[in-house]
């Protein structure tokens, strides 16, 4: 049995037991445990938090951060959670903190220097890093809007595991109808019909970078960036890089200085100061 299959079978009880062991050994009550949604989040935050912090991945489908915190550690100030905001409008639990923008990936690429570092290493096209980022976000707008509506109205659309290359590449600029048709092809029994189109129309394309960052799914953005990087390579030898490797490069390019400019950093620092805990790296 692989490590991944073992982790997928772990439950909330396993995670709670692991955290309890960490806390029981903390005689000075100075340690903080941060529960995160996945292994990539653990990698992203490893060098952004203090040495007094232990990062724990929420293993198992039942161990979501939102459910786990109030059910297992409702009053333990040394246990907090960090999760993607996704499309939540209100906090569900006081000790759960949200990444800036839609998700962790969007928080990272919102930093100009981070994205510039990645772009100059993997993209060979004519667009500047800032223009490249904006074009990707804009081309993803209707996919992002459909994700938002699917979450808000519980449409349960299949959008992940689709071939975004058909609608997001340097050679095409699909409008709303083309993107809806693309999504409907993957949802033959759950299509975006006329009634749903009216709700989709309520999601306005403001053209503002911040608004794009707030609704764009991180995996969609990384896939779109990978498509553009591959298309920009000259000749027959296109640069081959996986979404996973590109996401790793984005994490590596992100700095503590960039993190210090986020809302999440400010909230974690304040929480630590109010509770006598060292959470963010200095």
Contact 57, 42 (CB under 8 A): yes
d(CA 49, CA 267): 13
Task: Say which DSSP state 49 is in.
Answer: B
d(CA 184, CA 143): 12
Find where tokens 């809302």 sit: 263
Say if residue 136 is exposed, middle or buried (CB neighbours under 10 Å; 0-12, 13-18, 19+): buried
Closest by CA to 79, choosing from 132, 124, 20, 7, is 20
d(CA 33, CA 127): 42
Instruction: Determine the pLDDT at residue 5.
Output: 38
Instruction: Determine the pLDDT at residue 58.
Output: 85
> Can you give the pTM of this predicted structure?
0.92
Tens-place pLDDT, residues 195-228: 999 999 999 999 999 999 999 999 999 999 999 9
Round to the nearest angstrom and report the end-to-end CA distance of the chain: 40
d(CA 116, CA 133): 9
Instruction: Determine the pLDDT at residue 63.
Output: 60
Instruction: Determine the pLDDT at residue 8.
Output: 46
The β-bridge partners of 83 are 98
Instruction: Determine the pLDDT at residue 89.
Output: 83
Closest by CA to 11, choosing from 66, 45, 61, 46, is 61
Instruction: Determine the pLDDT at residue 238.
Output: 55
Q: List the chain residues with pLDDT less than 70.
A: 1-10, 60-63, 234-239
User: How big is the CA angle at 242 (ends 157 and 3), to the nearest 5 degrees?
Assistant: 80
Closest by CA to 69, choosing from 105, 25, 36, is 36
d(CA 82, CA 120): 30
Closest by CA to 88, choosing from 79, 96, 77, 78, is 96
User: How big is the CA angle at 49 (ends 267 and 221), to the nearest 5 degrees?
Assistant: 80
Tens-place pLDDT, residues 91-116: 889 999 999 999 999 999 999 999 99
Instruction: Determine the pLDDT at residue 92.
Output: 82
């Amino acid at each position: 049995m692989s490590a991944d299959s073992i982790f997928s079978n772990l439950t909330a009880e396993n995670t709670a037991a692991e955290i309890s062991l960490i806390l029981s050994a903390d005689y000075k009550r100075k340690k903080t445990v941060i529960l995160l949604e996945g292994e990539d989040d653990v990698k992203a935050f490893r060098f952004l938090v203090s040495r007094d912090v232990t990062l724990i991945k929420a293993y198992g489908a039942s161990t979501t951060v939102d459910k786990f915190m109030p059910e297992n550690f409702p009053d333990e100030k040394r246990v907090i959670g960090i999760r993607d905001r996704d499309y939540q409008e209100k906090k569900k639990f006081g000790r759960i903190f949200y990444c800036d923008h839609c998700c962790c990936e969007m928080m990272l690429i919102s930093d100009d220097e981070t994205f510039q570092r990645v772009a100059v290493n993997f993209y060979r096209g004519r667009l500047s890093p800032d223009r490249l980022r904006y074009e990707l976000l804009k081309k993803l707008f209707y996919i992002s809007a459909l994700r938002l509506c699917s979450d808000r109205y519980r449409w349960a659309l299949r959008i992940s595991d689709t071939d975004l290359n058909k609608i997001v590449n340097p050679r095409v600029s699909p409008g709303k109808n083309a993107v809806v048709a693309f999504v409907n092809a993957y949802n033959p029994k759950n299509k975006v019909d006329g009634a749903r189109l009216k709700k989709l129309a309520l999601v306005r394309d403001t053209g503002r970078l911040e608004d794009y960052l707030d609704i764009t799914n991180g995996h969609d953005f990384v896939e779109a960036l990978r498509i553009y990087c591959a298309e920009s390579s000259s000749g027959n030898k296109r640069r081959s890089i996986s979404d996973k490797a590109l996401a790793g490069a984005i994490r590596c390019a992100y700095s503590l200085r960039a993190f210090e400019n986020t809302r999440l950093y400010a909230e974690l620092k304040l929480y630590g100061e109010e509770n006598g805990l060292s959470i963010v790296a200095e």
